[in-house]
Structure 1
Amino acid sequence: MPDDFREFFEERTQWTDTDDDDSAPRQGLADNTDAEDEAPLSRRQLRKSQEQRRNRRIIRIVAIVVIVAMVIGLFVFGYTRLKSWRDARERAQQALTADYPGPGTGKVEFTVESGEGPAEIGEKLVKADVVKSQAAFTSAVAANNSTLYPGTYELKKHMACADVITILSDQSKATGFLQVKAGERVSQVIANAAQLSGISVDDFNAVINGGGAGILPEEAGGKFEGWFEPGTYNVKNRGSASDIIKEMVDKRIEKLDSLGAPTGADRQKMLIMASIAESEVNSDEYYGKVVRVILNRLAQNMPLGMDSTVAYGLGTTADKLTDTMLADASNPYNTRVNAGLPPTPISNPGESAIKAAMNPPDGDWLYFVTVNLTTGETKFAATEDEFWKLRDEYKSTNSNAY
């Protein structure tokens, strides 16, 4: 209350100077307009005025601080960016200069693994003392848009990056990596594996003919055909034939599981059909239809009549079959005279053929003929009359029919 009372009193009290002449008009009694213009500010007004001036000073100070902070921030940002740019430029310059002149000395056996990129390869090259700088190597790879291939290569110590890239980007210089292709037979795969690994082919055959204990699944029945997954395998430094074979089988099982393939005896049956389709035609377009022909013939207890199976049982190729071979019922793979599926797959089918065997299209086809051997064009028929027409078309284009 005292403060309120003081303010009330100050607002209503006018002050006069008692020393002035009595004849002078007193403040508050003179002309109203002059009095209002010349009247002194009240204390409350003075306080408000002072507070406003103080606020304006604070605002100016804050504005100055903000501007200064922004200037400092921009300076720091610019300096940081400039420094980063200069550092990057220096690193790039170092990468260009951190290189051996070549051609190098001695001998280094160097392996590029599947899936390794330039940075990983460059790091390994530095550790092997082949190149001087990982940065120089990766920069050279990028500058030349080079593709580096897996394999084992013969290099030297202290080589120029450009010379190393020339070798690593030439597949003909790569050794030690086995390429398992879709449609290859086990015999072809182990022959290549023995040559590339330096392990005797007899060691491979001992595993293949040994029943596959600890390697093959039970449904394979001890037979490896169809159980090698196509792909690239580093066989150069593997310890044994068993290790190499097991890796290919493990990859096959892993792939089948990932595709949701049937298990047990149904898995083996699916692989047999996929391998026949892989051997009979050369296009994803036809794999499923060939499988449907097989299923339709099985349903009608018809022999499959596939020359590819006959040839497999004799260890030869379809183009070398004779009439005697085609009539030989002692060949368990002779599906011309023996009903049902052959005992095992006849090759290592690829993923496309496997998918087709898992989900073949609907159809009533019982026959198919490759009417154009050059293009691989294959036509399918539901009746024997249609089949003979396709055979005539084949003869007119000098292609094989099956």
Structure 2
Amino acid sequence: MADSFNDYFEENTQWVTGNSSAPVAEPPKPPKSRREMRKRRKKKQRKHWLIALTVIVVLGLIGSATYFGVRRLSAVRAQNEMNERLSEDYEGPGSGQVSFTVESGEDALAIGKRLVKAGVVKSAEAFANVVSANNVNLYPGTFELKKHMSNADAMKILSDTSMAKGFFDVRAGERVSDVVKGASEMSGIAESEFTSIVDGDGSGILPSEAGGKFEGWLEPGQYDIKSKTSAKEILKMMVDRRIKKLDSLGVPTGSEREKILNMASIAEAEVNKKDDYGKVVRVILNRLDKGMTLGMDSTVAYGNNVKSAEITQNMLDDSSNKFNTRIHKGLPPTPISNPGDSAIQAAIDPPQGNWLYFVTTDLNSGETEFTDNADEFDKLVQKYKANNEDAN
């Protein structure tokens, strides 16, 4: 059957042309078979589906074009905004006064954001871009800046260490007592406030493996101590940076970390060449393995709070000094200084060797010779004495 009367007549009605003034309808054709009717219906359904699918595809293409067009416009807008921020700047040297502190480890963008907050520069991105374009380093410390400075003027001051105030330097191989004295002088905080903390148990500052002793746990480097208001803040800043550095160097934690600092501090005190640090550590390990005393003058000097050149025979014979490694076996009770990266790395992975002795035979050049033979060691001592006499 046809889908409707209209369909039926459209399918079965024919028109003829001729001399007559009006068409003459032929008798209707008999209905088609059911199979053919079903085929016609399916064909129409497929056509409808094809049209619907085409509409969906077209709408999808229009939607995609709109989406990517909007994204493109957003990207262009964002790029334009970034370009505007990169070109934002104040003119002139600025006015007024702003005390600004750069912390160690801060990058140019982080510094720029704080400069914007302080009213010094107009755009953090523009400031960072100027620093990058000029390939300069920004140094930690407290600097005197002005409001509404140009990026170039602010960069010029922050990249000049001579302009920094409250800029304190902890040197590799320096003892805690020396650090405390210098930090007190620069910060204006009483030295007694520092020593009371150092002589305490280090609670809230030191890690447990330090055993309450600060020696070896102050990281060498530059610090802005003017911005701190107490000795505890300053010491904690140095210890925190030390822990962070040890972690970055892969130094094992626990008692092994303290041992490495101990050996590195001795190496730092005994020789002054990077290539010799590892050999000194190997001497220490070899002597410990053989049950020998370390026999290091640097530890004796530390226990007497003097320099190695100031050691007397009485000091060498003093068994009450727990740091006298000429008499007491094993490592000293604590590190004897704050060793630097090179000495620490040497203590982590010292070279292989059978050395048991070493002598710095030339004090001017720092040349140090190593041996595993006692007789050869005696010859090196004589060589040292001869060179030292010539130097005098």
Normalising by structure 1, report the TM-score.
0.69
Superposed displacement of residue 90, structure 1: 3.6
2:161 to 171, 192, 197: 171
1:325 aligns with 2:312: yes
Amino acid paired to 1:105: S
Aligned to 1:23: none
1:244 aligns with 2:231: no
- Does the CA contact (< 8 Å) of 1:284 and 1:352 recur in 2? yes
1:115 aligns with 2:105: yes
Which aligned pairs between 1:204-283 and structure 2 lie closer than 5 A?
204-205=194-195, 207-208=197-198, 210-212=199-201, 214=203, 224-249=214-239, 259-263=251-255, 271-282=261-272
- Does the CA contact (< 8 Å) of 1:176 and 1:196 recur in 2? yes
Structure 1: gaps of 5 or more residues: 4-37
* Compared CA separation, residues 94 and 240, structure 1 to 2 (3 A): closer
2:146 to 156, 176, 195: 156
Aligned to 2:22: none
| Separation (CA, whole Å) in 2 of partners of 1:71 and 1:107 | 58
Further displaced range: 356-365 or 109-118: 356-365
Superposed displacement of residue 384, structure 1: 2.0
Identity level (%): 50
- Does the CA contact (< 8 Å) of 2:322 and 2:328 recur in 1? no
- Does the CA contact (< 8 Å) of 1:95 and 1:136 recur in 2? yes
| Separation (CA, whole Å) in 1 of partners of 2:258 and 2:339 | 12
**Larger of the two Rg values belongs to structure:** 1
| Separation (CA, whole Å) in 1 of partners of 2:335 and 2:46 | 93
Superposed displacement of residue 388, structure 1: 4.9
Amino acid paired to 1:55: R
Superposed displacement of residue 108, structure 1: 0.9
| Separation (CA, whole Å) in 2 of partners of 1:58 and 1:242 | 79
| Separation (CA, whole Å) in 2 of partners of 1:71 and 1:222 | 71
- Does the CA contact (< 8 Å) of 1:371 and 1:394 recur in 2? yes
SS at match of 1:149: coil
Amino acid paired to 1:366: L
1:345 aligns with 2:335: yes
| Separation (CA, whole Å) in 1 of partners of 2:229 and 2:174 | 24
Superposed displacement of residue 156, structure 1: 0.8
Aligned to 1:51: 42
Structure 2: gaps of 5 or more residues: 2-28
SS at match of 1:122: helix
SS at match of 2:370: strand
- Does the CA contact (< 8 Å) of 1:301 and 1:339 recur in 2? no
| Separation (CA, whole Å) in 2 of partners of 1:44 and 1:300 | 106
Aligned to 1:137: 127
Superposed displacement of residue 159, structure 1: 0.7
| Separation (CA, whole Å) in 2 of partners of 1:120 and 1:153 | 16
CA RMSD of aligned residues (A): 4.4
Amino acid paired to 1:193: A
Superposed displacement of residue 235, structure 1: 1.9
Superposed displacement of residue 347, structure 1: 1.1
- Paired residues, what number? 357
Amino acid paired to 2:158: L
1:62 aligns with 2:53: yes
Superposed displacement of residue 160, structure 1: 0.8
